[in-house]
């Protein structure tokens, strides 16, 4: 996706996303994700631990997790509009002393040192927006400490397939692209998105060097937990 398409999309997205969790489905989804994070990152981690929110957007996860964890946080995101909103949210949550905002591309996180991060979260599919997936998974692996965990989500292949057939009555050509290229296009003003099945997300993680944990899949989006070794 070119920079203009990216910026245009996230400019308007940044104005609405923080209201999303007022709706029933998102409330439930947020609650499930929070529980998955708590199951995998001990609430007892110390002040020195660093949680990287890769594609952390407006910081709504960091603001919530800041109430649970006393750790430091980094929000790494390429959208200036999302980060502007994050600045405001973090100021309101009064956790500015523990949060660093970095504007940058997940494909090349040059401002982060190798093996410097204790946990990575990447929620609601930042990696679906990054077409050079291999580079990005390798960068996530590079910055994580040995033995550390990543909790990551991407748009789900089977959800996209079922929805395109049942709700959109998609034609064969569109379904072929969906299957062969693992890409979905939801609408004219929405960028095309990478979609992941259990197997493709598992392979992407493995190829970058991660150990795969089988107990962390959810249904409508595809998510995984993995460990760096
Ligand atoms: C759907 S939003 C999710 C935001 C946040 N994780 C949440 O749950 O509210 C996807 C985020 O990924 C970011 N993103 C997409 N591609 C990126 C890239 N190549 N580098 C850094 N951030 C990226 C976008 O700017 C956006 O903030």
Q: What is the set of domains in the chain, with CATH numbers?
A: 3-155+196-228 (3.40.50.150)
Q: Whose CA is nearest to atom 27 of ligand 1?
A: 57
pLDDT value of residue 224: 62
Residue 57 Cβ < 6 Å to ligand 1: yes
Is the pTM higher than 0.85? yes
Q: What is the dihedral of CA 129, 58, 119, 107, to 10 degrees?
A: 30
Per-residue pLDDT of the chain (229 residues; tens, 9 = 90+): 889 999 999 998 898 888 777 777 888 999 999 999 999 999 999 999 999 999 999 999 999 999 999 999 999 999 999 999 999 999 999 999 999 999 999 999 999 999 999 999 999 999 999 999 999 999 999 999 998 999 999 999 999 999 999 999 999 999 999 999 999 999 988 999 999 998 898 899 989 999 776 655 443 445 666 776 6
Question: How many Å lie between the centroid of ligand 1 and the Cα of residue 167?
Answer: 26
Categorise residue 94: left if φ over 0, alpha if ψ from -120 to 50, beta otherwise. left
pLDDT value at position 18?
81
> Does 55 sit in the ligand 1 pocket, CB within 6 Å?
yes
Question: Is the distance from the beta carbon of residue 125 to the nearest atom of ligand 1 less than 6 Å?
Answer: yes
| Index of the ligand 1 atom closest to the CA of residue 122 | 6
pLDDT at 220: 41
59 lines ligand 1 (CB under 6 A): no
* 64 CB burial (10 A radius; 0-12, 13-18, 19+): middle
Q: How far is CA 45 from CA 36, 72, 125, in A?
A: 16, 10, 25
| Separation CA 51–CA 33 (nearest Å) | 15
CA 77 to ligand 1 center in whole angstroms: 6
In sequence order, the β-bridge partners of residue 152 are 122, 224
């Amino acid at each position: 996706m070119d920079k203009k398409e990216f910026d245009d999309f996230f400019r308007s997205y940044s104005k609405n996303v923080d209201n999303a969790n007022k709706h029933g489905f998102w409330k439930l989804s947020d609650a499930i994700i929070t529980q998955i994070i708590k199951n995998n990152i001990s609430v007892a981690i110390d002040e020195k631990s660093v949680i990287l929110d890769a594609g952390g957007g407006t910081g709504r996860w960091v603001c919530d997790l800041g109430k649970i964890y006393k750790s430091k946080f980094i929000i790494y995101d390429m959208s200036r509009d999302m980060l502007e909103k994050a600045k405001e949210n973090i100021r309101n949550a009064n956790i500015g002393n523990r949060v660093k905002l970095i504007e940058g591309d997940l494909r090349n996180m040059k401002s982060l040192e190798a093996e410097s991060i204790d946990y990575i979260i990447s929620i609601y599919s930042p990696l679906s927006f990054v077409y050079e997936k291999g580079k990005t998974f390798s960068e996530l692996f590079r910055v994580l400490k040995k033995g550390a965990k990543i909790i990551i989500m991407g748009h789900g292949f089977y959800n996209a397939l079922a929805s395109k057939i049942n709700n959109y009555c998609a034609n064969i050509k569109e379904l072929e692209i969906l299957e062969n290229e693992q890409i979905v296009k939801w609408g004219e003003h929405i960028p095309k998105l990478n979609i992941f099945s259990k197997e493709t997300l598992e392979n992407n993680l493995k190829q970058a060097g991660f150990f795969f944990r089988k107990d962390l899949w959810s249904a409508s989006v595809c998510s995984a937990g993995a460990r760096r070794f």
